[in-house]
Structures are given as structure tokens and as C-alpha cells.
Amino acid sequence: MGLDELLALLKTDTAIEIIAAVIKILVVLVVCLQVPPVMVWIERRAPAMMQRRKGPNRVGIFQWRLYGLIQSLADTVKLVFKQEVVPRGANKVAYHLAPIFGVFTALLIACAIPFGNDLVIFGQKIGLSVVRLDVGFLFILAISSLAVYTVTLAGWSSNSKYALLGSLRASAQMISYEIPLGMSLVPIVVIFGTLDLNQIVVSQGAYPWAWGVVRAPVSFLLFLICMFAETNRAPFDLAEGESELVAGFHTEYNSAKFAAFFLGEYVSMFVLSCLASTIFFGGWQAPFIPYDTLVKLVGGYNWIAAIIGFTVLILKASFFMWVYVWVRWTLPRFRYDQLMGLGWKFMLPVGLVNLLVTALVMAALEFH
Amino acid sequence: MSQELMFYATAFLITVCSVMVVTNRNPVVSAIYLVGDLFLLAAVFASLDAHFVAAIQVLVYAGAIVVLFMFVIMLLNLGPEGKAHLRIPAPELAVLVLTIIGFTTIGTLLLTGQAPGVGGEWSPEAIQTNGGNTFTIAMVLFTKFIWPFEISSILILLAVIAAIVIAKKDKKQVVHD
């Protein structure tokens, strides 16, 4: 087969789809997996900044200290080389499966998030999310409800009292806060009229007064709080609170599996931040610059505009990651009964009332 | 061709997972394989263009109901002795009978072409022209099947109330002095 024939084969529809899919998967995977090392660095330097001290800044390679970024590398190397101790009596299947669930669900959610408008390459329309589903964020809710198993299986399989207690509390917390999470997203469906995430981003427009956060502020507040509860972070981290339950559900995990838990946690923080920016903050749209104007500004090249859109989404998600770290190091932890009371007695009724009011307002608007 | 291949691969995995559910000694590990089963079933639904049903299957069944199963299993905390008490005599015969009934039913339905839903009024093209999966399901659910919908909501509410009443501690038993 000569070069011309090879090129002609590559320009067929299926080949373009496959190559585009592979590139999208690689990009999403690499971006998601680069988040935890950066987050570990921010997690230690940002509170240092807030508390008027310096964080880790000693680790360096040949005297390049890079403000402590190499600390993440050192931590990872340490965790990988540690001895792996499996507790006696631990259930082998569940013990090894639990960290996998965490990383799997987080990366699967990242597949449904659109990071750009549809591109037309060689006559083939390619959506810029790894999968283009017309039930976009129902898929995301479904996968995030599978994340409960990480915590449940990890604690149960460890054959340890503290792990079991921590995991039961954490899983009860996660399933309790899944309901206000879904309930806060239903008014979004009512307002935008579609479950497709790319459609939601496009219909938000570029101007901040039409974004989801202005159209559904109570939903945004509920979603923000449930975001923290779903990832076991910030004031809802009773399950892994160091002073409460040794280390909660991951007490008996060490070395690479411990790293996998943290990977899963940071990646799920990142994808939920991306989701929040997609639904409430306009996603890949640059503020005040409509997409067509942006394409004209870069000289009509769609792919440069797509890269800019991707960068904008990452910046918005980074803002939410900063809020995660900020809230974690500012607020004290909830007690367990306060936490459950907040979820069931406050957030669920507020979510229901929000849905009712949104539905009434949308129905009233339609009659005019 | 590739769709058939995917279906056969998924079906094989579903069979493997189902066998693991039934033959495992540990109930929690059975529940894990049940999650795998339901997730793969959702994959089969998605390959049939029923994306909404697939997402709802994972959200409700695999993500909530099986979690409930797991909580109950962990709460009951059956040791090996506990499980021995629950052993029904001659389970293999019951399984054999049920399998024969199942295969006969499905085989007859498929061979005579009378399986409900095959070639029904809502083919994938009809759904797409009607406005997509979610819209069609919502319209059909709230117009044609409104009565079953409302009655099942009331049934679920009754079940919740019954569970709360049963789980409430009896006040007379607490004061034992």
C-alpha cells in the first residue's frame, strides 16, 4: 500500500472518528491524571499561605526547588515504594477492588463533560467530549452514585473496626447527599429543557447574566454543598478525619492503593468542578466573547478556538478547586448527626421547594 | 457485525458475573458481582439506543438498590454458621427447574416472534423523530401509564411509612426498671 492509499484510508469517516476518539481519550486521561500532583502541592502551599507560614519547599532536584512542586514527585515515589501490607482476614476481592472503583468512576465522569464546541474536521462532525450522550448529566449522576462502593467496600474488606465504622458513616453520608445533588440539578433540566451537556453550555451564551448561576442560584448553592459532601471533603470529611477514626475507610491501605484512593478523590473533585463550571458557569465559553466572535478573532481556525475553550474550562474548574482547598482549611468539621440532619432536614426540603418554584416560574413564563 | 460482537462479549460477561453472584460464599462479594451484572445490562440497553433507561438503571438499581442490599448484608453480618441455617434443601434442583422454564419461555417467544416490544411502535427512529429518549419516555409515562405511575408512588410511600413504623423502637421495652 503506497502513501497515497494510506492517506486516503485515513481520510475515511471511521478512521477520523477512531483517531479523534483516541486523541480525546488521551487528552482527557492525561489532564485528569495530572490534577492530583498539582493539587497535592496546592493543598500544602495554599493553607501555608493562608496561615502565614511556608509549606514544603525543601525538596529539590539538583538545587532546583521549584517552590515545592517536586514534593509531589517525592511523595508519589515514596508511596509507590512502600511495602504493601494486606491485613490478615481481609477479603481479597473487595480489598483490591475498592480503590479501582474510586479511580474508575472519577475518570468515567470525565468522559461526558464537553470541553469545546463541535468541530468539523475533514467533513466529519466531531463533538468535543469523549462520549456524546443525549442523556449527558444523567449518566454523570449514575456514575457518581457508583462511587459509594469505593468507600463501602474499602472499609468492610479491611477486617478492622475503625475502617468499618468510618466506611459505613461515609457511605451513609454519600448516599444521603446524592439526593439533594440530583434534586438541585432537576431545575436545570426544567430551565434549559435538555439533558445534553453541550446543549446546556451553548444555550447559556457568553454573557454572565445568562449563565446557570444567575438563572438558578439556589440550585448552584445546593450543588456546591453537595459537591463537598460527595467527595468526602472540606467540612464533610468525618469519614477520613484524622482525629476521629484513625484514617477512616482507608486505614488499612498503604502504598499504591492509598495513592489510588487519593488519585480518585482528587480526580472526582476535578470532574465535579468541571461539571459545576459546565452547568452553572458557561463551560467552555469565554466570558463576554461569543463563540463566533472568538473564531473570527483567531482567524477562522476552529481548532484554536477549541483549545481556548478547553483552557477556559480548565480555568473555571481551577477556581472551584481553589474553593475546595479554601473551604477545607477554613471551616471546622461537621459532627455526624449535624451532617445527616443538614442533608435530610434542610437540603432536601430546600431542593424540593426550589424545584417547585422553578417549575411554577417556567410555566408562568410559558403562558406569556 | 461489530455490534453483534459487542453484544456477545457483553452477554458472556453478564453470564460470568451472574454465575459468580450465585456461587460465591460471601454475600458482599455476590453483591459486587451483581453491580457488575447491572452495569453490563445497562451497556446492553445503551447499545439498543435506550440511553435514558441505561442511565436510570445504573443510577437507581446499581447505585442505590444494591447499596441498600450491601448495607443490609453488612448489618446482618452472617458468619458461616448463620449461612448454614439458611440453606434451603436441594437448591440445585430448584435452579435446574427454573432454568428450564426460563429458557423455554424466552426461546418460544423469540422463535415465534411474539416477544413484546420487538418491532413495537417505538423503534429507535420513531423515538428520535419524536424528540429523543427522555421526551418520549416522559410523554408515554405521563399520558398512557399515568395510573400505574401514581399508584406505584403511593405504594412506595406506604412502604416507607411501614418501614419507619416497624423500625421505631417500642417505648414500653426501653423502660425496664
**Per-residue pLDDT tens for A102-145?**
899 999 998 888 888 777 776 667 777 877 778 888 899 999 89
Residue A58 counted as domain residue: no
Three-state SS at A124: strand
Decide if A148 and B63 are in contact by the 8 Å CB cutoff: yes
pLDDT digits (tens, 9 = 90+) for B6-29: 889 999 999 999 888 888 878 888
Decide if B55 and A148 are in contact by the 8 Å CB cutoff: no
The number of CA neighbours under 13 Å toward the Cβ of A276 is 27
Chain B residues with a Cβ under 8 Å from any Cβ in chain A: 26, 28-29, 32, 35, 39, 42, 51-52, 55-56, 58-59, 62-64, 67, 70-71, 74, 132-134
Q: Which parts of chain A have pLDDT scores under 50?
A: none
Mutation target vs A (from B30, B67, B137; most A CBs, 10 A cutoff):
B67
Given a cut of 90, whether residue B95 has pLDDT beyond it is: no
CA distances B55 to A129, A139, A196, B11, B95, Å, are: 17, 5, 13, 18, 31
Site of grid cell 481479597:
A92
Site of grid cell 424528540:
B131
Q: Where are the domains of chain B?
A: 1-87
Q: Which residue of A has its CA nearest to B70?
A: A152
Distance CA B75, CA B73 (A): 5
Decide if B56 and A138 are in contact by the 8 Å CB cutoff: yes
Q: Identify all chain A residues contacting B56, using CB atoms and an 8 Å cutoff.
A: 138, 142
Decide if A135 and B63 are in contact by the 8 Å CB cutoff: no
pLDDT attached to residue B175: 56
Q: Identify all chain B residues contacting A154, using CB atoms and an 8 Å cutoff.
A: none
Distance CA A286, CA A279 (A): 14
Distance CA A270, CA A283 (A): 14
Let me know how long chain A is: 368
Residue A195 counted as domain residue: yes
Decide if A139 and B55 are in contact by the 8 Å CB cutoff: yes
Distance CA A264, CA A257 (A): 10
Decide if B59 and A145 are in contact by the 8 Å CB cutoff: yes
Three-state SS at A329: coil
Residue A301 counted as domain residue: yes
Tell me which residue in B32, B67, B74 faces A97 most closely, judged by beta carbons: B32
Range(s) of the domain holding residue A349: 79-366
Decide if B32 and A91 are in contact by the 8 Å CB cutoff: no
Given a cut of 70, whether residue B108 has pLDDT beyond it is: yes
Count of A-B CB contacts under 8 Å = 69
CA A181 to chain centre: 14
pLDDT attached to residue A282: 87
* End-to-end CA separation in angstroms for chain A: 65
Mutation target vs A (from B49, B56, B58, B128; most A CBs, 10 A cutoff):
B58
Decide if A142 and B55 are in contact by the 8 Å CB cutoff: yes
Mutation target vs B (from A95, A111, A149, A164; most B CBs, 10 A cutoff):
A149
Q: Which residue of A has its CA nearest to B59?
A: A142
Decide if B51 and A145 are in contact by the 8 Å CB cutoff: no
For A20-77, give the DSSP string.
HHHHHHHHHHHHHHHHHHHHHHHHHHHHHHHTTS-------BTTB-GGGTHHHHHHHH
Q: Which residues contact A129 (CB under 8 A, 6 or more apart)?
A: A24, A111, A112, A113, A114, A115, A197, A198
The ipTM is: 0.84
Tell me which residue in B29, B52, B62 faces A93 most closely, judged by beta carbons: B29
Q: How far is A196 from chain B (nearest CA, A)?
A: 11
Compare B130 and A235 and report the one with higher pLDDT.
A235
pLDDT attached to residue A277: 93
Q: Quick one: average pLDDT of B42-47?
A: 90
Residue A224 counted as domain residue: yes
Q: How far is B94 from chain A (nearest CA, A)?
A: 29
Q: How far is B72 from chain A (nearest CA, A)?
A: 11
* Number of domains comprising chain A: 1
* Candidate from A250-259, B135-144, B164-173 with smallest mean pLDDT: B164-173
Other residues' Cβ atoms within 10 Å of the Cβ of residue A58: 10
Q: Which CATH class is domain B1-87?
A: mainly alpha
Q: Which residues contact A38 (CB under 8 A, 6 or more apart)?
A: A72
Distance CA A280, CA A185 (A): 10
Given a cut of 90, whether residue B118 has pLDDT beyond it is: no
Tell me which residue in A97, A148, A164 faces B67 most closely, judged by beta carbons: A148
The overall average pLDDT reported for chain B is 82
Distance CA A249, CA A81 (A): 22
Most confident of A248-262, B52-66, B111-125: B52-66
Q: Identify all chain B residues contacting A134, using CB atoms and an 8 Å cutoff.
A: 51, 132-134
Three-state SS at B78: coil
Decide if A97 and B134 are in contact by the 8 Å CB cutoff: no
Given a cut of 70, whether residue B115 has pLDDT beyond it is: no
Backbone angles phi, psi at A290, to 5 degrees: -65, 155
pLDDT attached to residue B78: 66
Q: Identify all chain A residues contacting B67, using CB atoms and an 8 Å cutoff.
A: 148-149, 152, 171, 175
Mutation target vs A (from B59, B69, B137; most A CBs, 10 A cutoff):
B59
Site of grid cell 423503534:
B123
Q: Identify all chain B residues contacting A249, using CB atoms and an 8 Å cutoff.
A: none
Decide if A138 and B52 are in contact by the 8 Å CB cutoff: yes
Q: What angle do CA B36, B37, B40 make, to 5 degrees?
A: 85
Q: Identify all chain B residues contacting A175, using CB atoms and an 8 Å cutoff.
A: 64, 67
CA distances A365 to A188, A191, A357, A360, Å, are: 15, 11, 12, 9
Distance CA B124, CA B129 (A): 9
Q: Which residues contact A117 (CB under 8 A, 6 or more apart)?
A: A128, A198, A202, A284, A291, A302, A305, A306, A309
pLDDT attached to residue A361: 93
Compare B115 and A146 and report the one with higher pLDDT.
A146
The pTM for the full model equals 0.87
For residues A322 and A277, is the Cβ–Cβ distance under 8 A?
Answer: no
pLDDT attached to residue A122: 67
Decide if B32 and A152 are in contact by the 8 Å CB cutoff: no
Let me know how long chain B is: 177
Compare B89 and A147 and report the one with higher pLDDT.
A147
Q: How far is B63 from chain A (nearest CA, A)?
A: 5
Compare B41 and A160 and report the one with higher pLDDT.
B41
